[in-house]
Structure 1
Amino acid sequence: MVTAGDAGPRGRAPEPKRYGRFTRAQWISAALLGAGALVVAAAVVVLIARSVIGLEPVRDFVATYPGEYALPAAAPIGIPAWLGWQHFFNTFLLVLILRSGWTARYGKRPPVLWSSRRVKRRKMSLTVWFHLALDALWIVNGVVYVVLLFATGQWVKIVPTSWEVVPNAVSAGLQYLSLDWPTGNGWVNYNALQQLSYFAIVFLAAPLAIVTGARISVYWPRKADRLNRLLPFDASKRVHVAVMVFFVAFIVVHVGLVLATGALRNLNHMYAAQDTVSWTGFWIFAASLLVIAAAWVAARPARLIPLARVFGDVVQR
């Protein structure tokens, strides 16, 4: 019941609180509707894929291209421990980058501003500063990863070395869609679709995120007319958001498939650097999730302000 004290100037109930464009009830309704639509769409896709893969020409195609191709003879076997640590650091930083980027874009008027002691006129919100600081750490981690990748020969696992990757990727995709998972051993070789996905993340999406992020940051040279025409601000902003959505989609699909295609063995590969079926990798994975969750909760202004003051001046409104 709405009382006179709750009513607006014309006796109407006050507008419900909005989170972005919609109210909480509208967000919940949209989420439920979207989830239902995804379930129906997924069921339809699986039925179609099963019908297609049952056709004799397609069965022959899958037999010829099982989903993976042979790596070069010198390709290393196994997943080293450094790769597991790099995977954790990348995930840790990326989750916080996505969180801070979303808050910076869709959050309310920032209550805290940060500025460099050298250029005091260049102010930014504490969230943007945190986002850029995380970006810098993520880039350093990425450079270390790429250097080690090529120094140890692990690059052949995620960089296509044969055009056979294309038909094998199509085959692997059909097998995934039909829920008849491609057989393989990630300890030795990824299937072609995994290889293309990892290649796209490391060598396409990540550089694109870095370039577009730099373009829309306060540190981009405003008087660089030629660069500004080459990378328009509005277009860079849209691409940056699109890359963020791509990262989120990749994480969801990647984690889902890791858990659905032999969780214990897959987690041991990435987190325990061993090709066994045990709970070791699972517990390390669980601990890493707790660390990420703790960092997510801790990434609030009250805890970020002391850290930000080490690198610049902080002003609270």
Structure 2
Amino acid sequence: PAPAASAATVPEAPTRSTAPAESVAPAAAPPASSTPAQPGPRRYGPLTLRQWVGASVIGILAIIGAATIVVQLTRWFLGLDVMQDFLATYPGETPLPDGAPVGLPAWLGWQHFFNVFLIVLIIRSGLQVRTERRPPAYWTPRWAKGGQGRISLTLWFHQSLDVLWLVNGLVFVVLLFATGQWMRVVPTSWEVVPNAVSAGLQYLSLDWPLENGWVNYNSLQVLAYFTTIFIAAPLAAITGVRMSGLWPKNATTLNRIYPVEWARAVHFPVMLYFVAFIVVHVTLVLLTGALRNLNHMYAAQDADGWLGFWIFVASIVVIAAAWIAARPTVLAPIAGLLGKVGR
């Protein structure tokens, strides 16, 4: 037997204790501390709030420092004799073709608003589709049989906005060519390339090129607008259609020629391009003469008054209201007009 077991079989001699019974009771455990345990600092992801603030401050200071270095280097570079000759030869813009219209018509301002309204909601709903794990509801087309074409309510909203954006874009392009406004955003000479480089260097030096968007955009703007209208927008459309429910699922040959993986690989970077374009575009509009630029874009007039500004503010309020309203309780009744909404 184990030693403990054998010891247990031997009875111990009784001992006489003169102490009271309560004196032999085991000592009471020390009282628990009345002070509650202090919780650790609240974490937001991998970092605490203090760490996030510290990292943000360091990041902002690093960006400011890097931007200062870039500006000073660019100014030194443009101060060289060879670059002074370059700027004299290529001031940053190219002349427009004969017969190009002057000014921006009212329809362009309305198209601009509709485009901004739709693209902001498209980006928001597209990110929701990309990150959504459990859709709030599903939408099935009224004409579908056996539940075919069933998609999440968020995806329905995204694709519906896409259709409206495409219609608005087609109207815009038709009016662009019908009124001659295309000459302002389509490069008509190879000199647009060195002039765009010149304009870009002037922006980096903070000695910004002289602008008169009412008459002619600088070459960097021309290339940016051309890329957005005639390259990025079509890419967003053709890749979006490939991933949508409008694409024929059983077209084997067509699916092999145009695989959905290619569309997915292109669609998201195009969205990032639109985000970058919007950020840079809005920043320069506000920094290079906000009142005049907003009058060009929203009031169709070349003036420094406040009309364009207040129309711009009203448009932001409308977009913000649509952003807040774009929730399942509002979208479900609208989607129900064209199909069945349910879980």
Q: What is the TM-score of this pair, normalised by structure 1? A: 0.90
- Higher mean C-alpha deviation, range 133-142 or range 210-219: 210-219
**Relative to structure 1, is the Cα distance of residues 24 and 107 closer, same or farther in structure 2, using a 3 angstrom cutoff?**
farther
Q: In the alignment, what sits opposite 1:10? A: none
Which residue among 106, 120, 123 is the counterpart of 1:98?
123
Measured against aligned partners, the alpha-carbon deviations of 1:142-181 in whole angstroms (never above 9, x if no partner) come to: 0000000000000000000111101110100000011111
Report the Cα distance in structure 2 between the residues aligned to 1:27 and 1:118, rounded to whole angstroms: 51
Within 1, Cα distance between the matches of 2:338 and 2:53? 40
1:192 to 214, 219, 224: 219
| 1:293 correspondence with 2:308 | no
Question: Residue 239 of structure 2: which of 195, 202, 212 is its match?
Answer: 212
Pick one of 89, 96, 101 that aligns with 1:64: 89
Superposition deviation, residue 235 in structure 1: 2.7
Give the unaligned 5+ runs of structure 2. Answer: 1-34
Question: Whole-Å Cα distance in 1 between the matches of residues 331 and 58 of structure 2?
Answer: 37
1:275 aligns with 2:275: no
Q: Give 1:43 deviation, angstroms.
A: 2.3
Instruction: Give deviations 1:73-128, integer Å, cap 9, x for gaps.
Output: 20000000000000000000000000000011012310210010111322111110
CA distance in 2 between counterparts of 1:227 and 1:209 reads 19
Count of residues in Structure 1 that have an aligned counterpart in Structure 2: 305
1:73 aligns with 98
* Offset at residue 16 of structure 1 (A): 6.7
CA distance in 1, matches of 2:92, 2:263: 35
Q: Show the counterpart of 1:306.
A: 333
C-alpha separation in 2, matches of 1:260 and 1:67: 18
Secondary structure at the counterpart of residue 115 of structure 1: strand
Q: Paired residue for 1:54?
A: 79
Residue type matched to 1:201 in 2? T
Listed as ranges, the matches of 1:1-317 within 5 Å are 34-119=59-144, 120-316=147-343
Could you list the per-position Cα deviations for residues 286-306 of structure 1 after superposition, in whole angstroms to 9, with x for gaps in the alignment?
A: 110011001000001111111
**1-side partners of 2:109 and 2:200: how far apart?**
26
Separation in 2, partners of 1:27, 1:107? 26
Q: What residue identity is the alignment partner of 1:170?
A: V
Pick closer, same or farther for the CA change 1:112–1:16 going to 2, 3 Å: farther
Over aligned residues, Cα RMSD in angstroms? 2.3
Change beyond 3 A, Cα 1:240–1:77: same
Partner of residue 18, structure 2: none
Unaligned stretches of 5+ in structure 1?
Answer: 7-12
Report the CA distance shift for 1:51/1:201 in structure 2 as closer, same or farther (over 3 A): same
| Aligned twin of 1:9 | none
Structure 2 counterpart of 1:92, which letter? Answer: F
Structure 1 position 220, deviation (Å): 1.7
Of 217-226 and 147-156, the range deviating more from structure 2? 217-226
Q: Which has the larger radius of gyration?
A: 2
Rounded to whole Å, the distance in 2 between the matches of 1:117 and 1:23 is 48
Residue identity matched to 1:71: L
The DSSP-based 3-state class of the residue aligned with 1:236 is helix
Q: Which region of structure 1 is more displaced relative to structure 2, 104-113 or 240-249?
A: 104-113
Secondary structure at 2:342 match in 1: strand
Question: After the TM superposition, which of the residue ranges 230-239 and 56-65 deviates more from structure 2?
Answer: 230-239
Residue 7 of structure 2: aligned partner: none
Shift of 1:71: 0.4
1:209-263 deviations in Å (ceiling 9; x for gaps): 0111111223222233333233322232121110111000000000000000011
Code of the residue aligned with 2:318 in structure 1: it is: V
Following superposition, the deviation at residue 185 of structure 1 comes to: 0.6
Taking structure 2 as the reference length, the TM-score comes to 0.83
Give me the identity figure in percent: 60
